[in-house]
Amino acid sequence: MRSARAIAHSNIALVKYWGKRAAVAGQTDDLNLPAVGSLSMTLDSLRSETQVGPSPADVFTLNGEAIEGGMATKVFRHLDRIWTARGEKGARPPCAVDSINHLPTSAGLASSASGFAALTLAGAGALELEASTATLSALARRGSGSASRSLWGGFVRLDRGELADGSDCVARQLFPADYWDVRLLVVHTARGKKAVGSTAGMEESRATSPYFDAWVATSEADLAAGEAALAARDLATLGAVMEQSMFKMHACMLATRPPILYWNGVTLEVLRALWEARQAGIEGYGTSDAGPHVKVLCASETAPKLEALLRGVPGVLAVDTVRPGPDAQVEVSP
Ligand code: PMV
């Protein structure tokens, strides 16, 4: 076994993923197959750095703090998947995993995307799994659906696929980071972690939300429209698709029993301020994930004006302006 260090950047879905495909009888649901495809932008400054190396026993530290159970269990289960992907039947060698999130953890800011992408790359490097980026992306998906998109920079699409073995559920880069000079403004509206994790929330939505089937049925058209707008660098069309995809996802969440409400009052005030700004000719489009923060897509030249305006919304804690980010990277040492 070797030591490897990886950096992966977070991503935000412009066309959203929410919900997993029901597991096929006789198959483990460990494949983590999404019910819908998605389209994302990788983010420059929000990233995870993960080091995996040999150790007398499995140990996991996150931002310098030793973690046991919960997230640590998920991390080591993921390294087991990488070991199994080598064709190994026996026990995996014990590993030390040291991870730093340059973004808030579990706050709806896609730390699982960058975290599992970095863990997959560093784990494969350390456990000496030779695999293509597409294969590593499929492995990352089994840790967290959104992580499969964080292997690449720029703009990335994850296909839903149809096959039960997940072999056609693949992510790929549509355009690199320098394709379009846009910005994503990350508008922070609260501190702390989200109440409902996305894995549990998605299962509850699939099982109980009367809007889940409509969400799935309309998502493929959103994906096609989003990709076409991106290919044309058409911000207004992409923005409209983006906002509707986000509102449909949150409507599906809200109609879940018990309801899943990630927003707070400030989330809504920010969305309203954004619409008012648009009417006044300052163009930006909003999205939000499994948390109360709002992310706004806009042209680079609009970003300073919009950032100042959104900072002024009562309750907004901070606004970060982020560029499209690069591919994930790994360095392996003997
Ligand atoms: O794959 P997860 O568990 O990180 O879930 C991602 C879900 C959303 O962030 C709400 C949407 C998305 O496509 O990233």
The domain that holds 225 is classified in CATH as 3.30.70.890
Distance between CA atoms of 9 and 48, rounded to whole angstroms?
6
pLDDT in tens, 232-272: 999 999 999 999 999 999 999 999 999 999 999 999 999 99
Calculate mean pLDDT across residues 87-106.
90
- Whether ligand 1 lies within 6 angstroms of the CB of 115 is answered as no
CA of 149 to the centre of ligand 1 (A): 10
**Count of domains forming the chain:** 2
Assess whether 172 and 189 both reside in one domain.
Answer: no
Percent of the chain with pLDDT over 90: 90
Question: E-strand spans in 122-225?
Answer: 155-158, 171-175, 182-188
Assess whether 170 and 189 both reside in one domain.
Answer: no
> HSE (CB half, 13 Å, CA atoms) of 99?
30
- Whether ligand 1 lies within 6 angstroms of the CB of 198 is answered as yes
**β-pair partners for 66:** 61
Which CATH number characterizes residue 95's domain?
Answer: 3.30.230.10
Assess whether 133 and 201 both reside in one domain.
Answer: no
Token look-up 């970003």 returns 303
Count of beta carbons in the 10 Å neighbourhood of residue 115: 32
User: Is residue 287 within 8 Å of 14, Cβ to Cβ?
Assistant: yes
> HSE (CB half, 13 Å, CA atoms) of 150?
33
Count of beta carbons in the 10 Å neighbourhood of residue 56: 7
> Would residue 334 count as lying in a domain?
no
> Would residue 333 count as lying in a domain?
no
Q: Token pair of 120, please?
A: 């997959």
Distance between CA atoms of 297 and 237, rounded to whole angstroms?
12
Calculate mean pLDDT across residues 51-80.
96
**β-pair partners for 47:** 9, 102
Residue from 198, 245, 261 whose mutation best tests the ligand 1 pocket (most atoms within 8 A of CB): 198
CA of 286 to the centre of ligand 1 (A): 16
Assess whether 85 and 150 both reside in one domain.
Answer: yes
Dihedral over alpha carbons 34, 40, 44, 49 (to 10 degrees): 10
Per-residue pLDDT band at 22 (split at 50, 70, 90): confident
pLDDT of residue 195: 76
- Whether ligand 1 lies within 6 angstroms of the CB of 38 is answered as yes
Assess whether 257 and 270 both reside in one domain.
Answer: yes
CA of 9 to the centre of ligand 1 (A): 14
pLDDT of residue 196: 85
pLDDT in tens, 40-52: 999 998 999 999 9
| Amino acid at the residue 274 | L
User: Is residue 140 within 8 Å of 151, Cβ to Cβ?
Assistant: yes
Assess whether 224 and 114 both reside in one domain.
Answer: no
Residue from 10, 15, 17 whose mutation best tests the ligand 1 pocket (most atoms within 8 A of CB): 17
- Whether ligand 1 lies within 6 angstroms of the CB of 146 is answered as yes
Q: Which of 139, 140, 80, 78 is nearest to 113 (CA)?
A: 140
- Whether ligand 1 lies within 6 angstroms of the CB of 143 is answered as no
Find the helix or strand (DSSP H, E) in which 246 lies. helix 235-254
> Would residue 327 count as lying in a domain?
no
Assess whether 160 and 45 both reside in one domain.
Answer: yes
- Whether ligand 1 lies within 6 angstroms of the CB of 116 is answered as no
Assess whether 155 and 221 both reside in one domain.
Answer: no
Where a domain ends, among 178, 207, 237? 178
Buried b / exposed e along 196-226 (16+ C-beta atoms within 10 A)? bebeebbebbbeebebbeebbeebeebbebb
Question: E-strand spans in 70-159?
Answer: 95-102, 155-158
Assess whether 44 and 113 both reside in one domain.
Answer: yes
Percent of the chain with pLDDT over 70: 96
Residue from 16, 246, 247 whose mutation best tests the ligand 1 pocket (most atoms within 8 A of CB): 16
> Would residue 329 count as lying in a domain?
no
> Would residue 90 count as lying in a domain?
yes
pLDDT of residue 105: 62
Average pLDDT, the chain: 95
Per-residue pLDDT band at 23 (split at 50, 70, 90): confident
pLDDT of residue 127: 98
Residue 251 CA to chain centroid, in angstroms?
A: 19
Specify the DSSP class assigned to residue 279. Answer: H
CA of 29 to the centre of ligand 1 (A): 17
Dihedral over alpha carbons 240, 198, 41, 293 (to 10 degrees): 70
Per-residue pLDDT band at 106 (split at 50, 70, 90): low
Where a domain ends, among 178, 207, 236? 178
Where a domain ends, among 178, 196, 220? 178
CA of 64 to the centre of ligand 1 (A): 25
- Whether ligand 1 lies within 6 angstroms of the CB of 262 is answered as no
> Would residue 168 count as lying in a domain?
yes
Distance between CA atoms of 301 and 305, rounded to whole angstroms?
8
Looking at the CA of residue 16, tell me the nearest atom of ligand 1. 13
pLDDT in tens, 138-193: 999 999 999 999 999 999 999 999 999 999 999 999 999 999 999 999 999 998 77
Assess whether 174 and 193 both reside in one domain.
Answer: no
Looking at the CA of residue 289, tell me the nearest atom of ligand 1. 10
- Whether ligand 1 lies within 6 angstroms of the CB of 114 is answered as no
> Would residue 331 count as lying in a domain?
no
pLDDT of residue 182: 98
Distance between CA atoms of 95 and 312, rounded to whole angstroms?
47
> Would residue 226 count as lying in a domain?
yes
Domain housing 156: 4-178
